[in-house]
Structure 1
Amino acid sequence: MSLAQEKSDLRRHFRRARQQLDKHERTRATRAAGRALKRYIRRGRRIGIYWPIGSELRLDGFIQTALQRGAKLYLPYIEKNTLRLWFTPYRADARHAERRRGKSALYIPQFSGKKIRAHHLDVLLVPLVGIDKQGFRLGQGGGYYDVSLAALRGRLQPHTVGVGFACQLCERLPREAHDRQLDAFVCEQGIMRFQTAS
Structure 2
Amino acid sequence: MRLQVNINLTRQNLRNRRKNLSSQERARASLEISKNLLQSNLLSTSTAIGIYLQNDGEADPECIVKNYSVKKKSFYVPVINNDDSKLLLFSKYEHKMQFKKNKYGIREPESPTLVDANCLDVVLMPLVGFDRTGNRIGMGGGFYDRTFQFLSGRKKTKPLLIGLAYSIQEVANIPNRPWDIPLNFIATENEIICAKQK
What's the TM-score once normalised by structure 2's chain length? 0.88
Contact (CA 8 Å) 2:128, 2:169: kept in 1 or not? yes
Q: Which amino acid in 1 is paired with 2:89?
A: W
Q: Within 5 Å, which residues of 2 pair with 1:86-125? A: 86-93=89-96, 96-97=98-99, 99-103=100-104, 106-125=105-124
Match of 1:42 in 2: 44
Q: Which amino acid in 2 is paired with 1:89?
A: K
Q: Within 5 Å, which residues of 2 pair with 1:143-154? A: 143-153=142-152, 154=155
Match of 1:11, SS state, is helix
Shift of 1:168: 0.6
Contact (CA 8 Å) 1:43, 1:71: kept in 2 or not? no
Q: Distance in 2 between matches of 1:132 and 1:73?
A: 26
Match of 1:168 in 2: 169
Q: Distance in 1 between matches of 2:48 and 2:58?
A: 22
Shift of 1:152: 2.9
Contact (CA 8 Å) 1:42, 1:71: kept in 2 or not? no
Contact (CA 8 Å) 2:131, 2:174: kept in 1 or not? yes
Q: Within 5 Å, which residues of 2 pair with 1:61-76? A: 61-76=63-78
Match of 1:170, SS state, is coil
Shift of 1:109: 1.8
Match of 2:87 in 1: 84
Compared with structure 1, are the counterparts of its residues 74 and 141 closer, same or farther at alpha carbon in structure 2 (3 Å cutoff)?
same
The number of equivalent residue pairs is 193
Q: Which amino acid in 1 is paired with 2:44?
A: R
Shift of 1:145: 0.2
Q: Deviations over 1:125-169 (max 9, x none)?
A: 010000012110000011110101212344452111000100111
Shift of 1:53: 1.2
> Percent of aligned pairs with the same residue?
26
Q: Deviations over 1:34-86 (max 9, x none)?
A: 11122333376110000111211112211112222121101111112121211
Q: Distance in 1 between matches of 2:46 and 2:10?
A: 38
Q: Which amino acid in 2 is paired with 1:62?
A: I
What RMSD in Å do the two structures reach over aligned CA positions?
1.9
Consecutive unaligned residues of structure 1, counting only runs of 5 or more, are none
Q: Which amino acid in 2 is paired with 1:126?
A: M
Q: Which amino acid in 1 is paired with 2:72?
A: G
Q: Within 5 Å, which residues of 2 pair with 1:24-43? A: 24-38=24-38, 39-42=41-44
Contact (CA 8 Å) 2:49, 2:121: kept in 1 or not? yes
Shift of 1:174: 2.4
Contact (CA 8 Å) 2:46, 2:122: kept in 1 or not? no
Q: Which amino acid in 2 is paired with 1:180?
A: I
Match of 2:194 in 1: 193
Moved more, 1-10 or 141-150: 1-10
Match of 2:148, SS state, is helix
Q: Distance in 2 between matches of 1:116 and 1:130?
A: 27
